[in-house]
Structures are given as structure tokens and as C-alpha cells.
Amino acid sequence: MLNLTENQETQETFSKQVPKNLSANILYFILNVIIGLFLVPFFIDSLGVASYALVPLATSLTSYVNLVVQSLNTSVSRYLTIDLQRKEFKKANITFNTALFGTLGVILLILPFVVLISYYAPSFFDIPTSQENAARILFVGVIFSFLLRAWGSNFGVSLFAYNRLDLQNLVNAVNILVQVSLIILLFKLYSPNLVYIGLAYLIGAAAALILTIIFSRKINPNLKVNIKDFRRSKVNEITEMGGWVVINQIGSLLFLQIDLIIVNKLFGTVAGGEYSVVLTWSIMLRTIAGMLVGILTPVILTYYAKEKIDELINISKSAVKLIGLAMALPIGYICGFAPQLLTLWVGPEFAKLSLLMVLMLSHLAINLPVMPLFAINVAYNKVRVPGIVTFFMGIGNFLLAVIIPYLTGWNYYGVALAGAIMLTLKNTLFIPWYATKVLGISRTTFLNSIIPGVVAMVLTGVVSSLVVSYLQISGIISLLICGILLTAIYLSIVWEFGLKPLERQTLESFIPIKIRSRVSLEAKCDR
């Protein structure tokens, strides 16, 4: 069970909040899946594969423009969470205002580069001549929207620190709903155009910013915007940690975002569009894992703030194992049913990408479960070494992504293979080991926690492939029925044989109290 506080009343509040966060994350994820699966074929039908490829390309560029701000926010989250949990509100206000005005300064410095990147994007990327001006406006709108949300996330840190991830998800849901509604409305009223996508992103970000400020003031009235609380000494403290997080982020982007740019440059926009189709599923799976990790990150930081190190270690071990088992099911299912999913989703002409899907997704069974371990590095302010390792291995991934297609002629399959190799090496050889070094525990602690998820993914993928071989899966209904049956069987086996009693208790603590009470009452009545 999760136990974060000495105060019984606060503990009960936390226990009630965790299930709310999980429910909100699940609902937001479902919204993302529905919109994501709808938008890709909508964009392809409206704009064509080549023009559609520019949309994920623009969003991938925001990751590079935005990495400095987001890295500083990671550092701020660490310091502000600890200050607020210890009720040191004066220090919290200094941290908040230093970050708020410091981030604003960074964004103002970045803006000229945003304009230059957007203007010269058609010269760097393979963009049709007729789409050049529209592409420029798309890039400006998307990048500006990310910078706006990045600055607004300083207000959102209060929601993170007080574990109100349900409100964070509400803000994110408003952002995406405004985006999608405006895109569809403008496409229908006028005509499909990349310009409207950039405009919709910008308006959605503005709506999310306003809502974040409102929620922040309601949840944490102790924080006040006051430039007098800006401290240069605090800037050094934040940026020292944030600087190494930047290095880590650059390395991560060289793993997770560089592949689409390489495919676009080496093989053209059509290949980039096809690669983006499969990349959508990878992003979706990463979103699921991020959703689960997002629930646990405030917990890990709070354990550290309250010096409950044994509990921190136990929850980290459980998190790695549980996320691995949770992700094994969708990864194995998607890989096993890849041709059918692609055919029903975007058309039979895309079924040829099923091998690419297996190549891009299967290694995630290893690489997603280790995500909670980065919170340990942040809590202990041990981000320098991971930053350096991630940066240099990211460069290695970039070089390998260029070399493998050149030597083998495997095109974007070679790019995907490079990412799978380098990311898996980093997340099996270094990340689990370094976390154990920081905590001072056995080197194999987290590796042992990864193994169950990998085994479960392989078995799920094999079973899914066998189902496809023996049954005719030709429609969405049959695909859903197979998915429901496999999920029921999988969950039953994992609950019975894959979890320890403490892990079952941890999972039960994420179930809303009303449901837990009802199930417990029904169980007593059955007796």
C-alpha cells in the first residue's frame, strides 16, 4: 500500500486522490487514442500522405525548440515539490517566481530562432513547392503553441506537487479538444489547409494556459506571482540541474525524434508519411507508459522529501514490474495483429508496414518499464551522468540510423532498427544499474523487475499471431472480440501467477475507494 504521510487525514486524502489520478489518466488516454486514430486517416484523406507528413514533422521540431524550457521545468518540479511538501512556502515562492520569469526570458531568447526555423523549413525538408508558405505558418503555430504551454507549465507544477494529476489531464484534454474541433471546423467551412492546423494548435494552447492558471490559484493559493521573488542565486541552482537535464533531453530526442527527420531527408515525404503512420502507435504506447509513470513520479519525489527511502525503493521496483506487465499486453497484441490493424485503420495498402510496426514496437517492452527510474535521479539530483550517457548514445543512434540504411539498403527499416538497438542497450545496461548505484542496492534489482514484462509481451505476441493464423480476422468487431478475450485471459493469469501480495495491494490502492468498498462488501455477502 502507498503510505506517504505521517498525518492520517492527509494520508486518506492522498489515498482518495491516487485512484482519481489513474481514472483521469485513463480517460485522457482513451481520448488521445480515439482522436489519434481518427486524425491520421482524416489528415491522409484530406491532405494526402505527403502533406500529412509535415504535421508530425512540425510537432517533432517543437521537441527540439522546447527542450530547454521543459528541462528547466523538470528541475523546478523537483525543488518546488520538496518545498511545498515540507510547507516551506517562502522558498516555494522564490523557486516559482524564479522559474516563471526565468523561463519567460528563455522563451523570448528562443523566439527569433523559432521564426528562422519556420521560415527556412522548406529549404531543409522535402516540402512540395505549393505547400511552402502553409508549412511555414504550420511550423510557427505549432512551435509557438508548445512554448506557450511550456511557460504555463510553471503554474502547473503546483498541480503536480499536490498530486492533482486529474486537473492536469483536464487541462490537456481541453487543449486537444480545442485543437481538433477547430481543425475539423475550419477544414469543413473552408478547405483542408496546413495553416488551420497551426492556428488550432495556438488557440488550444492559449485555452490550456488560462485553465492552468485558474486551477493553480485554486489548489495552491500560497504561490503568488511577484517579480521581487526572482533570485539569481536560485537560477544557478535550478539551471545547474536543468542544464544536465537539457543534455539528457537532447540525447532522448536523438533517440525518439530524430528518426522521422532522417526518414524525411533520406527517403522523401511519402516515406516520411508511411513512417509517421507506424510512429503513431509508438507514440500511443509511450503515452500509456507516461500516464502510468506520471502517477508515480510525485509519489517518488514525496517519499524522498519525507526521507522514506525503503518505501521509495519498493515502489520503484513495483513500478518497473507493473508497467512492464501493463505494457506487454498492448505491445504483444498490436504486433501480433499488425496487418489487420493497419488494414482496418488506414487501408490495405498500408498492411505492408506490419514488419516496421513489429520492429518499432517490440523493444518497448524493455524500454518503457524503466521510465520511473529517471524520477530517482531527479529526486537525488543525480542527473549529470545519465545526461552525458544519454547524449552520447543519442549521437550514436543518429549515426547508426544513417549508416544502417546506407550499408544495407533497408530504408526506413534500418532507421527503426538503429533506434531499437541503441535504446535497448541504454535501458538495459545503464539506466537500471545507475538507479541501483544511486540507491545503494543490488545491481540486478531493476533488471529482475523488467524480465516478467518482456516474457509476457513475447507470449502475448505469439498467441496473437497464432490467433491470426487459425481465425479469419476481417472486421473491427472480430478484432475487438479477440482483444477482449485475450485481455481477460492475460489479466487473470498475471493476477494469479505474476504478482506478489504487496504488488496486488499496491494495485488495489489505485482502485477508487467506493469500488473497493463495494467489492469487499459483496465478497463478505458471498461468504
pLDDT in tens, 397-407: 999 999 999 99
Q: 10 Å Cβ neighbour count for 484?
A: 10
Look at residue 107 and tell me if it is in a domain: yes
Query: What 3-state class would DSSP assign to 164?
Result: coil
Distinct helix (H) and strand (E) counts, the chain = 21, 0
Q: Give percent of the chain above pLDDT 70.
A: 86
Residues 62 and 149 in one domain: yes
- Closest to 324 measured CA to CA, from 475, 449, 160, 422: 449
- Closest to 193 measured CA to CA, from 57, 49, 43: 43
pLDDT at 5 (0 to 100) = 47
192-220: average pLDDT: 90
Write out the E strands in 429-496.
Answer: none
Instruction: Give the CA angle between residues 389, 395, 396 to the nearest 5°.
Output: 85
Residue-number span of the structural domain to which 143 is assigned: 48-250
Residues 293 and 223 in one domain: no
The number of CA neighbours under 13 Å toward the Cβ of 438 is: 26
φ, ψ for residue 2, nearest 5 deg: -80, 130
Residues 265 and 174 in one domain: no
User: Do 238 and 379 touch, CB atoms closer than 8 A?
Assistant: no
The domain boundary, picked from 250, 276, 310, lies at 250
Residue 325 has pLDDT above 90, yes or no: yes
Residue 299 has pLDDT above 90, yes or no: no
Q: Give percent of the chain above pLDDT 90.
A: 23
- Closest to 144 measured CA to CA, from 49, 244, 69: 69
Look at residue 389 and tell me if it is in a domain: yes
Residues 27 and 175 in one domain: no
User: Do 69 and 111 touch, CB atoms closer than 8 A?
Assistant: no
Residues 168 and 194 in one domain: yes
pLDDT at 9 (0 to 100) = 47
The domain boundary, picked from 207, 229, 250, lies at 250
Residues 368 and 418 in one domain: yes
Highest mean pLDDT: which of 209-218, 225-234, 248-257, 375-384? 209-218
Look at residue 424 and tell me if it is in a domain: yes
Look at residue 526 and tell me if it is in a domain: no
The number of CA neighbours under 13 Å toward the Cβ of 244 is: 18
Residues 118 and 56 in one domain: yes
Residues 26 and 117 in one domain: no
Residue 331 has pLDDT above 90, yes or no: yes
Look at residue 525 and tell me if it is in a domain: no
Nine cell digits for residue 519: 467489492
- Determine which of 16-25, 39-48, 281-290 has the lowest per-residue pLDDT on average: 16-25
User: Do 355 and 340 touch, CB atoms closer than 8 A?
Assistant: no
Residues 136 and 262 in one domain: no
106-122: average pLDDT: 80
Residues 96 and 212 in one domain: yes
In the block, residue with C-alpha cell 537539457: 246
Task: Supply the Cα-derived Rg of the chain in whole angstroms.
Answer: 23
Residues 5 and 57 in one domain: no
Look at residue 78 and tell me if it is in a domain: yes
Residues 182 and 291 in one domain: no
pLDDT at 206 (0 to 100) = 92
Domains contained in the chain, number? 2
Chain-wide mean pLDDT for the chain? Answer: 82
Look at residue 488 and tell me if it is in a domain: yes
Look at residue 522 and tell me if it is in a domain: no
Query: What 3-state class would DSSP assign to 425?
Result: helix
pLDDT at 526 (0 to 100) = 52
The domain boundary, picked from 206, 232, 250, lies at 250
pLDDT at 300 (0 to 100) = 81
pLDDT at 291 (0 to 100) = 76
